[in-house]
Amino acid sequence: MVLSELAARLNCAEYKNWVKAGHCLLLLRGCLQGFVAREVLAFHRGLLAAAPSLGPRAACRSGSRCNPRARQFQPQCQVCAEWKREILKHHTNRNGDVHWGNCRPGRWPVDAWEVAKAFMPRGLADKTSPKECDAVALLSLINSCDHFTVDRKKVTEVIKCRNEIMHSSEMKVSSLWLQDFQVKIQNFLNEFRNIPEIVATYTRIEQLLTSDWAVHIPVEDQRDGCEYETGVYLSESQVNEIEMELLKEKLQEIYLQAQEQDVLPEEVKKKEKKKILNRLQVVKEFLRSNKDLRNGLREDLQKLDSLHLQQQKPDSKEPGAQKPEGKA
């Protein structure tokens, strides 16, 4: 463990704020997972009760032809068409982006989670449960599905903050920003006062955000790590884990953005490409001086580099897109 690198990073108050904010998101994700899993099952049961024709005995009749891509889904069979209508009925963003590409429609009659993914952001096709999702995926579901009765403004405020954390190019946020985030995240958690695990997280987040979070460089055999004023203890490897998760999420976000720009008009694409490359450059620069983090992120960086190379080829197509060969 290269503790001096960690200590140097956390010496920067604004970076420390960024990690703290990210830790809040991880705590938030943790307390939402169980709740969301239960609610998704209830939602699915409710749908089947109201429309038994959608149930397990209904099966997609056209196999691979009922295959959504990104935001496009043209059902080729009766069952999938009915499911699509039903999902849209409960979608609060039914006139905007629905990421059908997340779902395997053939599973809708039997798999509640495949239905839930129609209410979530792009890039979740391979996620098979809430346990595999980050906070923003779960927040988006709560925001977009009318099964959840909640003040949606409070949800979108937290989503906005999350995006600011992930898009912060320098990976820094101010203390003022962090205070504001605390208010917003607590406003959101207050919407769930009858869910014990969410109430418990409220307290943990409060402790985290109001504590000083100093790293002590170990003197010989003294125990090292971070200590909260409140006595909550995080070891340096736990802090490291949090940083790693955040950076992974950030790189994944950059990856998805890079992947999406292929469908943009040429002019916008150029601008976007530059923005994304800059963002990636900053992360790489940061990792150059932080070997302890870089080693764990090698795969993620390689994935981005090979996407970049692929997109530089003059007639590159969106990876995996099954477009018919246009040129005769």
Q: Which amino acid belongs to residue 177?
A: W
From CA 152, how far away is CA 137, in angstroms rounded?
Answer: 15
Min dist CB 67 to Zn ion, Å, is 9
Closer Cβ to Zn ion, 66 or 155, answer by number: 66
Closer Cβ to Zn ion, 80 or 239, answer by number: 80
DSSP per-residue letters across 212-239: --EEEPP-TTS--EEE-TTS-EE-HHHH
Closer Cβ to Zn ion, 54 or 283, answer by number: 54
Closer Cβ to Zn ion, 10 or 77, answer by number: 77
Query: Which residue blocks in 168-195 are alpha helix, DSSP H?
Result: 175-189
Min dist CB 320 to Zn ion, Å, is 21
Residues that bind Zn ion (CB under 5 A): 60, 62, 66, 77, 80
Min dist CB 71 to Zn ion, Å, is 18
Min dist CB 73 to Zn ion, Å, is 10
Cβ pair 72, 102 in contact under 8 A: no
Instruction: Give the tokens for residue 114.
Output: 């495949």
Min dist CB 80 to Zn ion, Å, is 3
From CA 156, how far away is CA 185, in angstroms rounded?
Answer: 10
Closer Cβ to Zn ion, 79 or 136, answer by number: 79
29 torsion bin: left (phi>0), alpha (psi -120 to 50), beta (else): alpha
Distance spanning both ends of the chain, measured CA to CA: 57
Closer Cβ to Zn ion, 77 or 165, answer by number: 77
Q: Sheet harboring 214-216: ordered strands across?
A: 214-216, 225-227, 233-234
Place of tokens 């129609």: 118
From CA 29, how far away is CA 285, in angstroms rounded?
Answer: 29
Cβ pair 304, 258 in contact under 8 A: yes
Min dist CB 92 to Zn ion, Å, is 25
User: Pick from 79, 29, 3, 4: which is nearest to 237 by CA?
Assistant: 3
Min dist CB 323 to Zn ion, Å, is 21
Closer Cβ to Zn ion, 18 or 108, answer by number: 108
SS3 259: helix
